Structure 1
Amino acid sequence: MAPIALAPTTNTRFVTKLKTSIVSPQPNTLHDVLAHAVERHPLHELGFITSSAHDSSIQTKTFSEFNQYVRNLARAMLEWGKPTGSVVVVYLTEHEDNMAAVWACLLAGYVPCLQPALSAQQAHKEAHVAHIKNLFGSAIWLTSEIGAEQISSISGLDSHLLSELKASAEKFNVAANWIAYEPKPDDEAILFLTSGSTGFSKAVVHTHRTILAACRAKGQSYGLTSESRIMNWVGFDHVAGSLEMHVTPLLFGASQLHVHASAILADPLRFFRLIDEKSIELAFAPNFLLSKLTRDLEKRTDFYGSFDLSSVRQINSGGEAVVSKTAQAFAAMMKKFSKNSVSFVISPGFGMTETCAGCIYNPADVLATEPAHEFLDLGRPINGCEMRVVDPQDGVTLRPDGESGELQVRGPMLFVRYYNNAEATSSSFVEGGWYRTGDIGIIEKGVMRLSGRIKDTLIVHGVSYGIPELETHLQTPEGVTHSFLTAAPYRAPGQETEAFIIFYSPTFDLNGPDASTKLFATHRALRDISVKMITLPPQVIIPIPVDQMEKTTLGKLSRAHLLNLFKQGQLAKHIARAEELISQARGVSFVAPSTETEKALAKIYAGIFNLADGDISASDNFFEIGGTSIDAIRLKRESEECFGVPDVSAIQILKRPVLSSLANYINTLVSRGTEAEEYDPIVPLQLSGKKTPIFFVHPGIGEVLIFVNLAKYFQNERPFYAFRARGFDAGHPYFTSMDEMASCYAAAIKKTQATGPYAIAGYSYGGVVAFEVAKRLEAMGDEVKFVGLINIPPDIAPRMNEIDWTSGMLHLSAFLGLVAKHDADDLAPPLRPLPKQEQLEFVWKMAPPERIVELQLTIEKLDKWVDLAGSLIDCGLDYSPSGSVSAVDVFYAIPFAGTKTDWLNNSLKPWSGYSRGEATYTDVPGEHHTLMDLEHVPQFQKIFRARLEARGV
């Protein structure tokens, strides 16, 4: 029966259609997929664990409930009055929201385009959004309040809030088979954006036909049935999350659980718990997650035999090559943690956005059959897909079996074109419909494996980085000959993720008298830039004299040629010379550990950094050789075990990161026990570099560990000091006023850095303290060039007066990750009537045991910490800002409550009244309590450094 067209009424501008309840036996469109799933399995479930979920609580909707929900959303979308076929840019973070938005767009006759997280750098973000606007013309943006804030600075966008759409949808209750448009198989269905790592993103066009061809073949490959249960944690904006792990199982009627990645990464055991609780058969885990789970859980022998993992049949892995040993270690660990016997395959796969994710798979029982290569083979194509390896120069001449060449694929799952980019589309294909993947592969006896990359990208933990941009920054250090540097992706034997090598020509003679000093400085600068750009140091840095560095006829360095020379050992003499010079430079400062305590600590350092004991010098600084805040906690714990002392203070580790100094402190603990030391508010987190030091004031919790991950980005650039509140250690009283605290900190700065110019910043509560300290320094006649205020208004007294002991305790607990932020907000009213001890015990029971161990907390320490934080609140109760400083730089993130725009305009902009120069206001990623987390600090440090440099410090 044909769909029935309804005549439009006077207050509608669209045509709706009703499908009969009879659906075709074989879905031809995505609409059919949803209709089939609802008709045949109405009570099967879609489950979701959000990014804010503190525990493993799962929000569920049956297929039937979800179907009604998205059709009502689709009907509400029509109120926008947009023509059929309009592109809707979906910019959301949670799986359920993304999923609902995509289905609603499809049912309303629109084409969804899934937008990954936008760059935190304003210029990059605005350029990308402008590109998308130009690409799609009048595209609509559907986003959350947070997303709307991120794009608020770009004019001319037609944006809508999902929350408002949901509210609008509540007035509708359409039929369970309502649609606004009957699509054809070759209509555009969903658009996916490429990473844009080598330029602006391209929009990959997939039709209903290409998506269904891929999903049907994938499901057959996995052996999916309606009784299968899958678990996905990949973001929905990625083809693997939306197509491979949602549309594919939906096509087969399988129940699904979608978990926000942060929930797994924060608690690796949750991966096993969910498999146990939900009887998961199919899951997805890229190589870096397999490695992380194995590494994080290797010592959790107390959980051996704790989970029923017998339901697992297959774990897919993609995004980067899977290390064979990693896969074997993970599989062995799964067996140890399971209370029942397990039998499953790890299935590495190859796929791209252009192929609807995986199209080549290799299900492997890595414990039963020894892998043939260092990385697991990628296997054979799914039904309908073909692959071949050709000469990359002409793109058509077949390579013999076992020889490497350019990997090409073709089949019905291939995208049809790049949206509004005919040139890119045509250049991606060769005669016969073969798609050029840009990867170097080997096909041997019908099985494919990758051996390299053609494209200018580097994949670290599944994230793509553009090599050209990295190379541009690597050209800047003194010692690098301009245009004689290149970086190439490389994975060393046994390495868990892709790394890279830097090839360059030095400006100085490698045989000159000062070559060791110059080479050491140059290589240190290259490492620093790499860490700041992509959070990863180079695997190897190879200096090649300029007269031996070959260029092409076009004047370019050939990455492929240099990489081949390296692999063949033809650059060994250059590597050996570099190692000799570096060893000479290091030998000047290397001090062999001499005492038993130093030797024991050297062993601990070496274990943390996976180095040989003999590589550790007594002069090594823990943080300069790569230590993080998490590593510091491990150092504390292992030192206590090694030396038999009850408490190696984490703050003393921060103050004494040099091995010999820490050894002296531990010797004191062993001989005399813990003694109260004179209070020193300054904790040096990083001491190298010649630029103006930066002083950071603690947030309202008073501690400084939160700055450790930020401080490492300033290595060899500028010293980084942090202020720690008074009162943590026995015998030290709390501060009693803002004046006392600011005066104490100003005096400490003068003691550390006698003369200006000064640079000072404060995070949250610390912002107003930093402002007061800067005023005092200026009053002494000193120049303060930079005052950074991070997410705090000048008038804090109203907020301080709202915080009682209970809310303060919950705020601290949320900041420390003991409870979720939304729990902290909800728990205050019911907890407030209880005695303080009962409140503490309640929160203590909620806290993740792993987090308590990580922080080395006891309930007594938490109680004292709450009191100290309360003393800081008391200091701010009657604080009233006054006076001014030369200039302020305000950094703003998502506030505790309200919108970012209101927060900026109503709460933060008043800082301009306390700045004699022009105040700046800079958007930074994350929320108030997460902007210093490992997830956001790589972007924050770039933004923060740019403002420091803009102020001339």
Structure 2
Amino acid sequence: MAPIAVASTTTSEFFTNLKTSIVSPQPNTLHDVIAQAVDSCPSHELGFITSSAHDSSIQTKTFSAFNQYVRNLARAMLEWGKPTGSIVVVYLTEHEDNMAAVWACLLAGYVPCLQPALSAQQAHKEGHVAHIKNLFGSAIWLTNELGAEQISTISGLEVHLLSELKGSAETFNVSADWVGYEAKADDEAILFLTSGSTGFSKAVVHTHRTIIAACRAKGKSYGLTSESRVLNWVGFDHVAGSLEMHITPLLYGASQLHVHASAILADPLRLLRLIDEKSIELSFAPNFLLSKLTRDLEKRTDLFGTFDLSSIKRINSGGEAVVSKTAKAFAATMKQLSKNPSAVSFDISPGFGMTETCAGCIYHPVDVLTNEPTHEFLDLGRPIDGCEMRVVDPADGSTLRPDGESGELQVRGPMVFVRYYNNAEATSSSFVEGGCGRIKDTVIVHGVSYGIPELETHLQTVEGVTHSFLGAAPYRAPGQETEGFIIFYSPTFDLDGADASSKLFATHRALRDICVKMITLPPQFIVPIPVNQMEKTTLGKLSRARLISLFKQGQLAKHIARSEELLSEARGATFVAPSTKTEKALSKIYAGIFNLAESEMSASDNFFELGGTSIDVIRLKREGEAHFDLPEIPTIQVLKHPVISSLANYVDSLLSKDGKTEEYDPIVPLQLTGNKTPIFFVHPGVGEVLIFVNLAKYFQNERPFYALRARGFEPGHPFFTSMDEMVSCYAAAVKRTQATGPYAIAGYSYGGVVAFEVAKRLEAMGEEVKFVGLINIPPHIADRMHEIDWTGGMLNLSYFLGLVSKHDANDLAPALRPMTRKEQLEVVWKLSPPDRLVELQLTPEKLDHWVDIAGSLIECGKDYNPSGSVSATDVFYAIPLRGSKSDWLNNQLKPWSGFSRGEPSYTDVPGQHYTLMDFDHVPQFQKIFRGRLEARGL
């Protein structure tokens, strides 16, 4: 592999560019790594942007200052009186806190174990913490106030707060080379927890020797020097964040900037600004994020030629395979956004590694714009120095596979972990003769690893599946951006039986539902294989590798064809041929959206049951308007008429111009299948409910999902004028839809207080309300409502709709306020991505009217003062619009406890206030939310 050239760069206000270079660093322990960095580059800096930062302000510490800080922390740790080698579970959120805690543990002679975010599901969280306590034989946790709150229900833990440790450390001023313990190369250094996707987490033991071997080889591969500048936004609890993007650059004296992921995801332009302003040379982004950044940035034609991106030389990409076309699109977009496209030349370097190999251990940097990729995915190249790999037959774990054939990957080298902590059985099963580690049974979806054995356990419970004759295997179809999977199983019924079609339909539907709810995606294929034709190994197991091989070779084609024939037969039993001209036209549009044959479309097909998303709704609306030459098919009518025949009737009424103004009904049914208690979701402060479409699909065949939409969008419908009027309207609508309880109602943001009031109203009617979900909203909103003027409301709405970035929404307000309303709209309109305006079919007049709707809801909330109580509340909290998450929870959200007669729950959910329902976060949110519904007995 050719060495990576690192261009020289100019001095920036953040990085001090020292003309020094560390040649062939040879430390033996991590203690040596930090000491060497301080001696060689004392003025180089570690920079941090936190999750609560509203701008690009960077908190910095020089290597020298950081060294002093963590040694004082380490000295303060000794006051705990714990013996050398004690394990400390580090459970923190921000990069700087995690980093400081890990180094303090190392220097004090303790072994840090990095704990990722705990599950929001109480039972799983408590089970995990109990497992960790048992695994380590003790339970020392170092966390913040929010983390302490999360584990407060679990007894027997020794919890130390970082804030208190910092306070104690201020009383010490140890020497710059002080250590509480002189480490040895083969001492345990850091423990990393596996994902726990195949059960409870295992603790991977890495020594000083394994970590340094990995980091030395990585840095050589990256071409790092002490003049390099690294930007990281991978969580520190992940090996890629801590070892690959911190200890590796520290080993070479490189300056580092660590950004909380939420800061980039909320505003992708921040990544470009930081590369520009801080002359960043190396960063990291997995394939799905390269894809997201491209989607978000390639539409910003107004920003083409804006940034200096000449410094970036390499972007590592791991977690899943890198799609060649995604890499090319990203690189091309970076050039378009650059002030000087000819100066932009960087490698995208796909990599592979595991927690057990200290993250990446094989890379292949390539400039995809000058070297045309030869395969669908970017090649991985050759392993780093000292690492060896081989591909073997999974049946025996030792026979080498010929080039080009798939098999089991085995890895060995000095960077491979030494063992799983206190788990000899797992350690033994992970190694074969020769010191090679074996692959795990997982499928990786958008960079998140899910355990196949756990999935299979749940799938085995489906009626129609022969016990022990089901296997799920990872599979990536050509052109697919992320990994998927196939289910192979033997049905309990005869595939040639009289009722085979209905039984197969029910079985496959149940298998899909479980997959969507557990790992957020349906299987790409479900292949039923008669039990007498399903081969097992001599150990009585299904060979996933063989099943995938047979599938790729086409040897399962007859089973797939029979399945499709039976499913078509089942579908035909309820098939209604489109009869009118309008039904036939809509059938063609539906078929195009869902990539189905037009002949397969039934007039009774439901848009959402076919898998329609919020983006698909907009597409259906636009294509329908174009085909029927209508000025507008209101989005709400698409939502209210998802069935082809129903939507056709509505379109016919528009075409005949006899469509009268419909009576306002706040209820929008987004999903009507399933027998469990329905859920009602109240709109956020913008009044619209399209945001719930992607959430509703996860409740298919489980429970109906209704959304409540504000009044005022349709002509002739006046705005609400008071909270009482709104609540009365919504409570009556809920009762019309579901005559009797128990009820489940939730509200997102502003909708949370409305949901609370509707629940109170239903209880006052004598009804039982078993679930009240309050999503990222405090009970006291009046002060906040008074703070929002028309300008603020317009910017909030514009950010919510994706018209402006969070950065722009925060910065524009002072400049806009002196302008007229029309002038303010013109500014926002010019900043808005043209494609997004077309996608939403907005006009300046529609945006203006929408701001008025949102403003009417703000007015309703200005006099709101919560009172009374409901049976119980479930509060879900994400990163707030401003301030820290801890303050948001403890000072803003906890007061809900005063309005709940039963024990309230407070559940952490991923994302930020405006992003927790988007495509990136809703898969995890639905799992958490459904868990709380079930916990309330619904």
Match of 2:788 in 1: 806
Match of 2:265 in 1: 265
Q: Distance in 1 between matches of 2:331 and 2:482?
A: 18
Q: Distance in 2 between matches of 1:792 and 1:336?
A: 37
- Tell me how far 1:548 sits from its aligned partner: 3.0
- Tell me how far 1:60 sits from its aligned partner: 3.5
| Alignment partner of 1:488 is 2:469 | no
Structure 2 residue matching 1:684: 3-state secondary structure: strand
Match of 1:388 in 2: 390
Q: Distance in 2 between matches of 1:949 and 1:378?
A: 44
Match of 1:545 in 2: 530
| Alignment partner of 1:411 is 2:387 | no
Q: Distance in 2 between matches of 1:804 and 1:609?
A: 45
Q: Classify 1:895/1:839 alpha carbon distance in 2 versus 1 (closer, same or farther; 3 Å).
A: farther
- In the TM superposition, 1:72-471 aligns within 5 A as 72-338=72-338, 339-341=340-342, 342-398=344-400, 404-432=406-434, 434-438=435-439, 455-471=440-456
- Tell me how far 1:868 sits from its aligned partner: 1.8
Q: Classify 1:346/1:744 alpha carbon distance in 2 versus 1 (closer, same or farther; 3 Å).
A: closer
Q: Deviations over 1:647-667 (max 9, x none)?
A: 654433322334565566567
Identity of aligned residues (%): 74
Q: Classify 1:60/1:586 alpha carbon distance in 2 versus 1 (closer, same or farther; 3 Å).
A: farther
Amino acid corresponding to residue 250 of structure 2 in structure 1: L
- Tell me how far 1:532 sits from its aligned partner: 0.8
Q: Classify 1:761/1:404 alpha carbon distance in 2 versus 1 (closer, same or farther; 3 Å).
A: closer
Match of 2:637 in 1: 652
- Tell me how far 1:936 sits from its aligned partner: 5.1
Q: Classify 1:786/1:493 alpha carbon distance in 2 versus 1 (closer, same or farther; 3 Å).
A: same
Q: Deviations over 1:726-785 (max 9, x none)?
A: 33445433434554333322332343344555444445665565455456556767x546
Amino acid corresponding to residue 364 of structure 1 in structure 2: V
Is contact 1:759–1:784 with CA below 8 Å preserved after alignment? Answer: no
Amino acid corresponding to residue 32 of structure 1 in structure 2: D
Structure 2 residue matching 1:876: 3-state secondary structure: coil
Amino acid corresponding to residue 344 of structure 1 in structure 2: F
Is contact 2:868–2:899 with CA below 8 Å preserved after alignment? Answer: no
Q: Distance in 2 between matches of 1:266 and 1:581?
A: 45
Is contact 2:745–2:759 with CA below 8 Å preserved after alignment? Answer: yes
- In the TM superposition, 1:681-760 aligns within 5 A as 681-699=666-684, 702-754=687-739, 758-760=743-745
- In the TM superposition, 1:906-921 aligns within 5 A as 907-913=895-901, 921=905
Amino acid corresponding to residue 352 of structure 1 in structure 2: M
Amino acid corresponding to residue 137 of structure 1 in structure 2: G
Is contact 1:727–1:868 with CA below 8 Å preserved after alignment? Answer: no
Q: Distance in 2 between matches of 1:174 and 1:321?
A: 47
Q: Classify 1:308/1:738 alpha carbon distance in 2 versus 1 (closer, same or farther; 3 Å).
A: closer
Match of 1:925 in 2: 909
Identify which range, 680-689 or 65-74, moves more after superposition. 65-74
Structure 1 residue matching 2:341: 3-state secondary structure: coil
- In the TM superposition, 1:551-570 aligns within 5 A as 551-552=536-537, 555-570=540-555
The match for 1:868 among 839, 846, 856 is 856
Is contact 2:621–2:638 with CA below 8 Å preserved after alignment? Answer: yes
Match of 1:881 in 2: 868
Is contact 1:704–1:724 with CA below 8 Å preserved after alignment? Answer: yes
Amino acid corresponding to residue 321 of structure 2 in structure 1: A
Q: Distance in 2 between matches of 1:347 and 1:267?
A: 24
Is contact 2:394–2:545 with CA below 8 Å preserved after alignment? Answer: no
Is contact 2:432–2:438 with CA below 8 Å preserved after alignment? Answer: no
Q: Classify 1:802/1:746 alpha carbon distance in 2 versus 1 (closer, same or farther; 3 Å).
A: closer
Structure 2 residue matching 1:530: 3-state secondary structure: helix
Q: Distance in 2 between matches of 1:603 and 1:101?
A: 59
Q: Deviations over 1:858-889 (max 9, x none)?
A: 66346414422223315634x5427x7xx545
Identify which range, 30-39 or 361-370, moves more after superposition. 361-370
Is contact 1:149–1:899 with CA below 8 Å preserved after alignment? Answer: no
Q: Distance in 1 between matches of 2:500 and 2:535?
A: 22
- Tell me how far 1:495 sits from its aligned partner: 1.9
The match for 2:509 among 499, 524, 531 is 524
Amino acid corresponding to residue 284 of structure 1 in structure 2: F
Q: Deviations over 1:874-926 (max 9, x none)?
A: 5634x5427x7xx545345469686688579963444454xxxx666464535
Q: Classify 1:427/1:289 alpha carbon distance in 2 versus 1 (closer, same or farther; 3 Å).
A: same
The match for 1:582 among 554, 564, 567 is 567
Identify which range, 540-549 or 170-179, moves more after superposition. 170-179
Is contact 1:234–1:260 with CA below 8 Å preserved after alignment? Answer: yes
Q: Classify 1:280/1:558 alpha carbon distance in 2 versus 1 (closer, same or farther; 3 Å).
A: same
Q: Distance in 2 between matches of 1:693 and 1:209?
A: 56
Q: Deviations over 1:26-77 (max 9, x none)?
A: 3332233223323333333333333334444444433334334333433443
Highest RCO, 1 vs 2 (Cα 8 Å, sep ≥ 6): 2
Match of 1:12 in 2: none
- Tell me how far 1:142 sits from its aligned partner: 1.8
Is contact 1:24–1:32 with CA below 8 Å preserved after alignment? Answer: no
Q: Deviations over 1:321-359 (max 9, x none)?
A: 233443344444444444322433332222221221122
Structure 1 residue matching 2:243: 3-state secondary structure: helix
Q: Classify 1:163/1:350 alpha carbon distance in 2 versus 1 (closer, same or farther; 3 Å).
A: same
Is contact 2:713–2:850 with CA below 8 Å preserved after alignment? Answer: no
Is contact 1:736–1:875 with CA below 8 Å preserved after alignment? Answer: no
Structure 1 residue matching 2:349: 3-state secondary structure: strand
- In the TM superposition, 1:749-898 aligns within 5 A as 749-754=734-739, 758-763=743-748, 766=751, 769-770=754-755, 773=758, 784=768, 786-790=770-774, 796=779, 799-800=781-782, 803-806=785-788, 817=799, 860-861=848-849, 863-874=851-862, 876-877=864-865, 880-881=867-868, 887-888=871-872, 890-893=874-877
Q: Distance in 1 between matches of 2:122 and 2:450?
A: 18
Q: Distance in 2 between matches of 1:820 and 1:370?
A: 34
- Tell me how far 1:530 sits from its aligned partner: 0.9
- Tell me how far 1:540 sits from its aligned partner: 0.2
Q: Distance in 2 between matches of 1:834 and 1:430?
A: 72
- Tell me how far 1:415 sits from its aligned partner: 2.0
Q: Classify 1:596/1:874 alpha carbon distance in 2 versus 1 (closer, same or farther; 3 Å).
A: farther
Amino acid corresponding to residue 713 of structure 1 in structure 2: Y
* TM-score, scaled to structure 2: 0.84
Q: Classify 1:792/1:264 alpha carbon distance in 2 versus 1 (closer, same or farther; 3 Å).
A: closer
Structure 2 residue matching 1:253: 3-state secondary structure: coil
Q: Classify 1:174/1:352 alpha carbon distance in 2 versus 1 (closer, same or farther; 3 Å).
A: same
Match of 1:473 in 2: 458
Is contact 1:105–1:112 with CA below 8 Å preserved after alignment? Answer: yes
Structure 2 residue matching 1:804: 3-state secondary structure: helix
- Tell me how far 1:178 sits from its aligned partner: 3.9
Q: Classify 1:25/1:307 alpha carbon distance in 2 versus 1 (closer, same or farther; 3 Å).
A: closer
Amino acid corresponding to residue 890 of structure 1 in structure 2: D
Q: Distance in 1 between matches of 2:411 and 2:886?
A: 49
- Tell me how far 1:119 sits from its aligned partner: 1.4
Amino acid corresponding to residue 800 of structure 1 in structure 2: A
Q: Classify 1:235/1:686 alpha carbon distance in 2 versus 1 (closer, same or farther; 3 Å).
A: same
Structure 2 residue matching 1:85: 3-state secondary structure: coil
Q: Distance in 2 between matches of 1:771 and 1:332?
A: 49
Q: Distance in 1 between matches of 2:231 and 2:652?
A: 51
Identify which range, 56-65 or 203-212, moves more after superposition. 56-65
Match of 1:447 in 2: none
Amino acid corresponding to residue 277 of structure 1 in structure 2: E
Task: Give the unaligned 5+ runs of structure 2.
Answer: 1-21
Structure 2 residue matching 1:510: 3-state secondary structure: coil
